[in-house]
Amino acid sequence: MADSVPVRCPTCRRENAFTPPTFPCACGAPLTMPVLRGGVPVEIVHRTWQASWVEVRCEVCGRQDEWPAPESGCACGTVVRVPVVPAPVPPEPTFPSLGAPTPKPAPAQAADPPRAILRPAFRPVTIRTARDCVTAAEQYLKWLGFADVARTQERTASGVDLRGTGVVAQVDPTTRSTKLREIECVWLNGLNDSAIAVFFSLAGYARDARARADELHIPLYVMDLTGTPQPVNDPADELIRYGATGR
């Protein structure tokens, strides 16, 4: 567990103990937000999407990615954003002088690209109820190669309907477009489980939800009443092409 650090409230000047949150990196290592000791917390008055995320580098694999910005609440009601250590800036490339010969790079060993999977045609499940939507999504994930995926015993507040080794999925059986918040929730659940997050919707997706899913590389599918999910973005196409083994 990460050590707590003191955070002084800018409103009442009370000093509160704050424990930085820890998230699972894509490499599997725990990534604790590197809180800047002595940094000045900023009161959150108006939330913006850009300010709610910070760029942090994993010390294990070197991956640099965006994570939820750490926040701390005070007993006086003030909520502050706790500053983190800035991510290192990659060094600028250097170029040889004009008079020096440019060395020829050694031939690189090309990595074998993942192979497309050949599988039998998917057998759809006709959708008549919301439960049928979840059943169709479950069968589809099994068809993609997630053999042990199963329905959760009780849908949690996060909305996860299906879980399996390496995958979590949410199903929206309503007649309204899936919202941005639901996309972000299933993504965070995928982070917590170190798994790919997948979304199935009966009515499609709001424009900002679709854009955010593309940024987070979340496969999106739209389901018709025959029970056949249709991919709506590139990550969904990739998942169909390579299946669970290509992730």
The string of pLDDT tens digits covering residues 70-103 is 888 888 888 888 888 877 766 665 555 555 555 5
For residue 208, pLDDT over 90 is answered with yes
For residue 107, pLDDT over 90 is answered with no
For residue 74, what are the contacts with CB-CB under 8 A and spacing of at least 6? Answer: 9, 11, 12, 14, 16, 80
Q: 116 or 133: which carries more pLDDT confidence?
A: 133
For residue 107, what are the contacts with CB-CB under 8 A and spacing of at least 6? Answer: none
Q: Is 230 helix (H, G, I), strand (E, B) or coil?
A: strand
- Report, as an integer, the average pLDDT of 98-111: 55
Judge whether 38 and 31 are in contact, CB under 8 Å: no
Band (66; pLDDT cuts 50, 70, 90): confident
Model pLDDT, residue 164: 92
Please, what is the average pLDDT of the chain? 83
- Report, as an integer, the average pLDDT of 200-217: 93
Segment 217-247, tens digit of pLDDT: 999 999 988 888 999 999 999 999 888 876 5
Judge whether 72 and 40 are in contact, CB under 8 Å: no
Q: 150 or 90: which carries more pLDDT confidence?
A: 150
The percent of residues in the chain predicted with pLDDT above 70, rounded, is: 83
Nearest Cα neighbor of 136 from 218, 213, 197, 222 is 222
Note the pTM of the prediction, 2 decimals: 0.55
C-alpha 64: how far from its chain's center?
14
The percent of residues in the chain predicted with pLDDT above 90, rounded, is: 33
Cα distances from 246 to residues 122, 150, 188, in angstroms, run 19, 20, 21
Model pLDDT, residue 50: 73
